[in-house]
Structure formats: structure tokens, C-alpha cells
A and B are shown apart, each in its own frame.
Chain A
Amino acid sequence: MFGSLDWSTLQQFWWLIVSVVGSLFVFLTFVQGGQTLLLTIPGSEDEKTLMVNSLGRKWELTFTTLVLFGGAFYASFPLFYATSFGGAYWVWILILFTFIVQAVSYEYRRKPGNFLGQKTYEVFMFINGSVGVLLIGAAVGTFFTGSNFTLNEFNLVKWTHPLRGLEAAFSLFNLSFGVFLVFLARTLGALYLANSLDHDGLVARLKKSSFNNLLCALPFLLYVLVSLLLMDGYAVNPVDGTVSLEANKYLGNLLQMPLNLILLLAGLVLVVLGVVVNRFTASVRGIWPAGLGTVLTCLAIFFVAGYNNTSFYPSKADIASSLTIYNASSSHYTLTMMSYVALTVPFVLAYIVWVWRQMDSKKLTIDELAADKKSY
């Protein structure tokens, strides 16, 4: 089945898969966003515990999706994996650090004998939700602004900036992208928590918070979108694979891929709809339209970065070294085999949905946590 597809179709198919995993990851950063809300939203220790326990039942899904995102990139676009991780060293090391400290925080926070203290783990959670997501946003921003690397004739990477990736955070576009993701994660976190908790006071505050965080996200989103439409992009010549700068490349991508434009607009509308419904009606189910909208918006952004003969990881130091989905991918054989493996993804999603429904059919209450010595 997949073996009969030509290499470029498989490469595009795998960009789609990586985009889906990346977009699901962004949706699941509601856990990170929720973690940053722990400082401001809860009015008591019980309320904080309630929020932590709701988020704590989902943190592993976000973590695992990040690992899968890395694994999928490694298997399908190993040259990107090698170039970005080996080159933009410090940005990735710092991102990893924020995720290491998050992984233990839920489990250790309130356990007896915890020598770092409860507050330390709450700070860890906040760092993961703010710095971690900000840096991820800055790293994704380089898909459009480019990075400082060169590749030799054997495709071995050399980074040309002493900050080794951290310089990405000093670009206004990348930084805005990162800040937008932080506020989006907070918006989604508030929506998720409002839907999962049985606590009127807390839910009312979360509903307000989701709206306020969306308002904070909008200027940054606007800046990112306008910049994206106006900036020069890195176009790939489909015949010889050479990369060159093209004025308004990303605007062109949206216009030349109208379905993608619809995807982007529909996604944004759904996010706003989810938040508005939550804020101005009695409904607490805004997480679902907003979540779907997040996935659609992210998909559109990934598609703009990689499709329509575009370099998804451009080099500012040497434009000829820029990575495209064609020159950075695995072999035809590996992409074929991995495509068969990817057929299992719907089954994985199905059991995740099933278990999610089983666990969340009843809202979480303070009384339940008080009776459960295993709670976080």
C-alpha cells in the first residue's frame, strides 16, 4: 500500500503525521497552562490540590506526546533531529530541564519525607508551564525565521551562533510566538479545569481566567500572524531543491493552499468560540471547541511551514543548508515501514479517549481527594 507511493508523497504524508502529533501536543499543553494558574486561581490549599489532581491525571499524556513528537521527527526527518538538537543545544537542554522537573513534581509534591518542600515542586510546575512552553514556542518560531547553522557535504551540522539556540528567544517574532503559546496554554488549562472540577467558586474564576488569558494571547497572535503574512519566506525550487528567499512566501502559501487558510480561520474561530461560550454562558465544555480549534490552527501553521515547496527549517547562516521535507527525510523504505506503524495511531487514540471518558465521567471534588490517600 504505502510502498507503492513515491518518496515525495511519503515525505509529505510524514510531515502531516508530525504536524498532527505536534498539534496534539500543543492542545495537551493545557496541563502546562494549568500549572501556571496554580499561583493565582486557587483561593485555598484544598482548591490548589483539586487543580493539581485534575492536571496530574493528564500530565503523562502531554509528556508522552512530546516524546512521540521527538521520536516521530527522529524516524521521519533525522536530519532535522540532528541539526536542531545538536545545534540549538541550549534551547533544547533548557526545555528538557523544565520537563524533567515537571515529571516528578506531581508525585513528590505532597509526599511525606519530601525534602525539597511542596513549594519547590510548585515552582517547578510553574517553570515548566511558562519557561518550557515559551522556549518551545521560540523553537517553533525558527521554522519561519531560520536558525544559525551550516551543513557540510556529509550533512554534519555546525552552529554559527555562540548562544546555540538561545538566540531564538531574542527574536521578537519567536518570542511573540512563545508568549502566545504560554497564554494559549493558560487559556486551555483554565477551560480544561473548569470542565473537570466540581467546585462552583473555582469554576467561576477559571471561566474568567480563560477569557482574560485569551485577551492576553491575542496581541501576540496578531503580531505573529501579521508578521507571518508580511515576511519573506524560504522557498524551495521543486526541480533542483535549491532554497531562496521569496517575498510574502507564507502569505502566498495560505492563498495557494486555500484549504489551509480555511483550517487556520476555522481553528481560530473555534478557540474564540470555546472561550466565549465558557465565559458568557453556563456551559463548561468550551475546552472541546477550543481544543479542536487549537489543533486545527497548529496544523495550519505546520502546513504553512513545510508544504508548498517551503523550507521548514531554514538556515540564516547558509541558505543552501536549509532543510526541507525532501532533503531532511528518512529513506523511502523507512518512511514506508513507519507509515504502517502509524496505522496503529487511531487505535491508540481510541483507547485514550475511552479511558479519558471512564475517568472523567464524574467530576473531581475536594471530598473525593480527602478520602484518597494517593492523591497528589
Chain B
Amino acid sequence: MIEQIDLSMVNWARATFALTAMYHWVFVPLTLGLSFLCAFFETIYVRTGNEQWKKLTRFWMTLFGINFAIGVATGIILEFEFGTNWSNYSWMVGDIFGAPLAIEGILAFFLEATFFAVMFFGWNRVSKKFHLFSTWMVAAGSNLSALWILVANGWMQYPIGMKFNPDMARFEMQDLWAVISSPIAISHFVHATSSGFLLSSLFVVGISSWYLLKKRHIQFAKRSIAVACVFGLLSSIFVAFTGDEHAFLTVRTQPMKLAAMEALYDGHEPTGLTAIGIVNSDKEPGDDQDAFSFKIEIPGMLTLLAHRSFEGFVPGINDLVFGNAEHGITSIEEKIKRGKLAVAGLADYKKAKAADDQVQAGQALSLFDANRDFLGYGYLNSADEAVPPVALTFYAFRIMVGLGTFFILLFLVYIYLLEKRQLENKTFVLKLGFISLFLAWIASQAGWIVSEVGRQPWAIQDMLPVTIARSNLDTGTVMTSFFMFLILFTALLIAELKIMTKQISIGPEGE
């Protein structure tokens, strides 16, 4: 099926996609939450008629607009990169994957784009209520857009509602509703959007804290913090709950990812959760080395998270690679063997069909059908390829969870101090709030590393490895475009940061 696989090209294509996705995810989470915060602020303005709230709304809207433009720019690249760098993927799953992208365009992007103009330029052209409606529509549009792209991503993590068509050599959709309502897709959506709300709240809290530290725009900052802290606290609690649900589903759908998140090599019953640890980077599946140089474990906690009880088996990397008959786990070697039978069956089927040999085609199709569930494994050469980078996934998971817990405490402290009217005197807390603005991005990026690095080598879980999903390009071409994107995105990021910091330094008085 594939003549030659140039791994260096695949790695550059992965790097390009990771680069674009990570840049995109610098801007998008802020858009998701800040649009709602602007809507909250403006709603208070319309209800109270207090011009201070209007000034406040317009200030945060300006920062939203600066950020929004570059989010849109990086977003278009992601959509088209599926075609440019992953054209085999685009053909093999386009029947399913293209649908949410098209729906995103129709139902979300136009909502956002149309009402964005009113939100920014309609203050004196439309009525107050219509303007407020437009602001809410922008918030709805940006979050609807996240829904559809996360439905698509959720399907890549847990492909359902489809079948493989051997005549077309592609996966085809059988049940759109199953794709949309997939528990993984929903879980991805609520976790990612609520983490965006959390990040945006910290953005508002961080900048407002800076104003309080500088003794500037005191009332403005306290008002902003009050709304953002409530939104942030609710969001952060929601993020924790949805994160728990997400981990619960991951055990069932992507056990290798969970094993990597925990650097768990040998499953036990019950299994502890590593709170803090240093991963032994020399450790390979099946060897006798310890997985950790150091760790502090909470006994039985991982089993509790995975099964919602202290009973149940959580498979480790060794169980998944070498198989575990007691728990009904097939080894990767066996899956590869059966996958290769599926690949060979498919190739023979195509040849026999071309030669119009119905008997041979029938036999080849039977062989393919008997092994089709392992098709993706047929493109792996060794079991090791099925193990994602363990250390990166492990640390990213801990950074995400650790910071997420810290943010909940931070919001509680801020709300308490606001209530006691002591916030502006607590320099240490305000500095912590300002620093958290940056920590929010680290947590957010770490979350995506867990999600995407943790599922390697799969473009479509168990069905399509990234080596097969790529375009037929040479390394030099992809490498050149990688550096072009790197330079352009970095230049635009610097431009955005300079404009943002200048705008923040000018403050709401400039509104």
C-alpha cells in the first residue's frame, strides 16, 4: 500500500502540526473564555447602565480582538494542513473527518465572523440590546467552533460510527450521531472549553492584579477580578471534574495513554497514583529496571480514578505490549501479526478485483475481514512503536493537574480577600495572581501534550498510524515549510505580545 516511508519526513510533518497546534492553542483558549467574560461585563453594563462597566467591557474586548485575529490565522493553517501534510489521512478518513470541519464552518465560524463586526464597530450603529446580543453570539460562535473541532479530535482518539470500505480503501461514516455524541468527544469538548474559561479568567485576574500592584485603575481592576474569579472558580472546579471523567474514559479507550501518563509498566490490583516522581528515562518495556528514580505514591488511588472503586485492574505498558492472558489483553506482537494479515488481505483483494477474479477476491476479503480490527497495527514494525513517549506524557500530566489544583486554591483566596476588602493590600497574593497568568498557559499546553503525545503513534487510534497518514512529500519540502511557519508565527506572536502589553500599559483610560 505504501511504497516507502520516510520517517524523517513524518517527523517534520508531526513537528509542523505540533507547532501550528501549539501556537493556535496559545490564542484560542483565551478567545473561548474572554468572549464570555466580555459578554458578562456587557450584560452588567446593559442592566445597570453604569458607563464604568462599558469602559471595562471595551478594554477587555480590545485585548480579545488583538488575540482573536491571530487565532483565526493559525486556525486556517490547521484545517488545510490536514490536506497538505496528511493527505493520505485526508483521503482515508475524509468521509468522516471532513464533516465536523464543514459543520464548524457553517454553524460556528459565520456566527463568530458576522457578529464580530457588530461587537467591535456597532457601539454607535446598533441598539444597546442588539450589541449585547452580538457579543453573546460571538461567545457562542467561538465555543461552538471548539465543539466541532473537538468532536473531530475526539473521533481520532476514539473512532466510532464508521466502517472500512475495502473497495474504496477508506473509512466511511455509518452514524453521524455516534460521532457527535461520542463520550470521548463530549468529554474533550467540556474539558478543553472549561480549561479555556479558566485560562481567560486567570488572564483577567493576572492583568488586574498587575494594575492593583501598580496602584492603577483600582476600581476597574477589582470589578474585573470579581467577575473573573467567580467564573474562574466555577470553571476550574468543572475542569477538575471533567478531567476525572476524561481519565476514567481513557482507561477504557486508550489504556496505553493512561499507562504512559502514569509511567505504569506493570498493572496491579489495586494500583497507586504517583503524586510526584522522577521517571527513569532508560527504562524500556520488558526490562528489569525501575520505572522511577524517585516517587511518592498514593496507594490505590489510580484504581479508584480508573474504576471508581478500589477493585479493578489498570494495565501497565508491559501488560499492553506483551499481553496479559489473565486480563484478556492481546499483545502488540499478536496485533501486528494480525494487522499484517489484514494489510495483505486488502492488497490481495484489490489485485483480485482488478483482475476480475471473484474467487480470489472473496478469499482475500475474508482474510481481511477476520483481521480488520487490527489494520492499523499492520503498519507497525515493532511493538515498541506502539508506546508513546512516557516521560513527556508523565510530566505534562503532572504539570497540568498540579497547576489546575493550585488555580482552584488561588481563586478561593482571591474571592475571600475580595469579600474581606483586603485584596489590594496583599502584595504576595497579587504577585501570585500575576504569575498565574503565565502558569495558565503552561497548564493548557501541558494538557494538549498529554492528549496528543499520549496517543502516538496513532493519527486514528488503533486504525491509522501517523507514518501512513502523511503526504507523499520529501523531507526538504516539509522542513522548509516548518521553518517558514515557525518564523512567521513567532514574528506574529512577538507582534501580538508587544501590542497587548502596550494596550495593557495604556489601560482602560484609553477606551
Residue ranges of A at the interface with B (Cβ–Cβ < 8 Å)? 53, 57-58, 60-61, 63-64, 66-68, 70-76, 78-79, 81-87, 89-90, 92-93, 96-97, 99-101, 103-104, 106-108, 111-116, 153-159, 164, 330-331, 333-334, 337-338, 341-342, 344-345, 348, 351-352, 355, 358-359, 361-362, 368, 372-375
Contacts and interface: CB of A to CB of B under 8 A. Distances in A.
A92 to B, nearest CB: 6
A326 to B, nearest CB: 12
Given A71-B104, A76-B98, A111-B502, 8 more contacts: A78-B91, A85-B82, A87-B471, A157-B87, A334-B172, A344-B107, A348-B111, A351-B114
B500 to A, nearest CB: 8
Given A344-B107, A358-B130, A359-B121, A100 B73 contact: yes
B77 to A, nearest CB: 6
B350 to A, nearest CB: 5
B105 A67 contact: yes
B492 A115 contact: no
B432 interface: no
Interface stretch (B34-42, B64-72, B318-326): B64-72
Interface of B: 1-2, 58, 62, 65-66, 68-70, 72-77, 79-80, 82-88, 90-91, 94-99, 101-107, 109-118, 120-126, 130, 134, 165, 168-170, 172-174, 176, 350, 354, 471-473, 477, 481, 484, 488, 491-492, 494-496, 498-503, 506, 510-511
Contact of A79 (B66, B91, B105): B91
A84 B83 contact: yes
A112 B118 contact: no
Contact of A358 (B95, B104, B118, B506): B118
Contacts of B68: 107
Contacts of B473: 86, 89, 164
A362 B124 CA distance: 11
A281 to B, nearest CB: 28
A113 B503 CA distance: 8
Contacts of B122: 358-359
A106 B113 CA distance: 14
Nearest to B502: A113
Contacts of A352: 110, 114
Contacts of B80: 70, 85, 92, 96
A64 B105 contact: yes
Contact of B116 (A60, A113, A341): A60
Nearest to B174: A333
A359 B117 contact: yes
A53 B120 CA distance: 11
Nearest to A106: B69
B125 A82 contact: no
Contacts of A359: 117-118, 121-122, 125-126
Contacts of A73: 98
Given A60-B116, A103-B72, A67 B79 contact: yes
Contact of B95 (A61, A113, A334, A348): A334
Given A115-B494, A358-B130, A75 B99 contact: yes
Contact of B172 (A90, A331, A351): A331
A60 B123 CA distance: 19
A355 B73 contact: no
Contacts of B130: 358
A155 B170 contact: yes
A341 B172 contact: no
Given A57-B117, A86-B84, A108 B499 contact: yes
A240 B411 CA distance: 67
Given A57-B121, A71-B104, A114-B498, A334 B113 contact: no
Given A71-B101, A97-B484, A156 B94 contact: no
A108 B66 CA distance: 7
Nearest to A17: B102
Contact of B169 (A75, A154, A373): A154
B87 A63 contact: no
A86 B2 contact: no
Contacts of B506: 112
Nearest to A335: B95
B472 A86 contact: yes
Contacts of A345: 106
21 contacts: A64-B112, A67-B75, A68-B105, A70-B101, A78-B95, A85-B84, A86-B83, A101-B73, A101-B488, A104-B70, A104-B73, A113-B500, A113-B503, A116-B495, A153-B354, A154-B350, A155-B170, A338-B99, A341-B102, A355-B115, A372-B123
Contacts of A66: 76
Contact of A111 (B72, B88, B503): B503
A133 B91 CA distance: 27
Contacts of B109: 64, 67-68
B173 A355 contact: no
Contacts of A338: 99, 102
Contacts of B73: 99-101, 103-104
Nearest to B84: A85
Given A61-B114, A81-B90, A333 B498 contact: no
A113 B492 contact: no
A87 B126 contact: no
Contacts of A92: 80, 83-84
B118 A334 contact: no
Contact of A158 (B66, B104, B168, B472): B472
Contacts of B77: 96, 100
B65 A358 contact: no
B473 to A, nearest CB: 6
A82 B502 contact: no
A101 B70 CA distance: 9
A319 B169 CA distance: 21
Contacts of A362: 125
Contacts of B83: 70, 74, 81-82, 84-86, 92
A358 B121 CA distance: 11
The 4 A-B residue pairs whose C-beta atoms are closest, nearest first, are A86-B87, A78-B94, A85-B83, A113-B502
Contacts of B496: 104, 108
B101 A74 contact: yes
B127 to A, nearest CB: 9
Contacts of A96: 76-77, 80
A322 to B, nearest CB: 16
Contact of A74 (B102, B110, B472): B102
A187 to B, nearest CB: 23
Nearest to A99: B76
Contacts of B65: 107, 374
Contacts of A85: 80, 82-84, 87, 90
A103 B76 contact: yes
A155 B472 contact: no
A120 B484 CA distance: 18
Contacts of A97: 484, 488
A71 B105 contact: yes
B105 A72 contact: yes
Nearest to A112: B502
A143 to B, nearest CB: 17
B76, B126, B510 — most chain A CB neighbours (10 Å): B76
B361 to A, nearest CB: 13
Contact of A156 (B91, B101, B112, B484): B91
A159 to B, nearest CB: 7
